Chain A
Amino acid sequence: ETGVTQSPTHLIKTRGQQVTLRCSSQSGHNTVSWYQQALGQGPQFIFQYYREEENGRGNFPPRFSGLQFPNYSSELNVNALELDDSALYLCASSLGADFNSPLHFGNGTRLTVT
């Protein structure tokens, strides 16, 4: 069984730039969700994708967007980066779209915006 993998592990960007983070879901999982975790805080839900459609979104502005591909892998795109976007970005896969299934997290991408 292949777990959730994220790339890259670390990234440094400049304010105003755009970034794309990638996630491969665990085999057999059809749902991917993304979270932002600032230092010392709990993860904040960004959005969830099920069968290539967004089926849930947290309180993040439209410059946070995503995609899910037919193989259930996913991308998180952030435009017009701000300093406050510096955080650990976690991807999680699960089975089913009902938000009741356990989440399996990747190791995360640590984004630093300067």
Chain B
Amino acid sequence: RKEVEQDPGPFNVPEGATVAFNCTYSNSASQSFFWYRQDCRKEPKLLMSVYSSGNEDGRFTAQLNRASQYISLLIRDSKLSDSATYLCVVNRAAGNKLTFGGGTRVLVKP
């Protein structure tokens, strides 16, 4: 089993709709969590950190479920510019290692 797993998608989303997807992690001692966005043939860019209490940044909401070991990202009122691959990143508490998921591809269509 991979340490961090994501549904590769693509999630085809009508413009203005809501889309949500999860990222599961296997190490229960994982310490910190992030969502990054990567456009085609570009470098990843931080979208948001994921806090235990959940957090929101505009149209984006991130949640952490430690009991079930997953994080989620919800995008409301999807824009064409939200089309990208969304990478989840998990910091394992021991061993000093960051693990990226394989990414979830989102395609927002008019």
Interface residue ranges, A against B (CB under 8 Å)? 33, 35, 41-45, 48, 55-58, 90, 99-100, 102-108
Contact = CB atoms under 8 A, between A and B. Distances in A.
Nearest to A55: B96
Contacts of B44: 43, 90, 103, 105
B46 A103 contact: yes
Most A CB atoms within 10 A — which of B31, B46, B49? B46
Interface of B: 4, 6, 31-32, 34, 36, 42-46, 49, 87, 89, 91, 95-103
Contact of A100 (B32, B36, B46, B99): B32
Contact of A105 (B4, B45, B96, B98): B45
A45 B97 contact: yes
A41 B102 contact: yes
A45 B99 contact: yes
Contact of A42 (B32, B46, B95, B103): B103
A42 B45 contact: no
Nearest to A43: B100
Nearest to A103: B46
A105 B36 CA distance: 11
Given A56-B96, A90-B44, A99-B32, A42 B87 contact: yes
A99 B91 contact: yes
B22 to A, nearest CB: 15
A7 B78 CA distance: 35
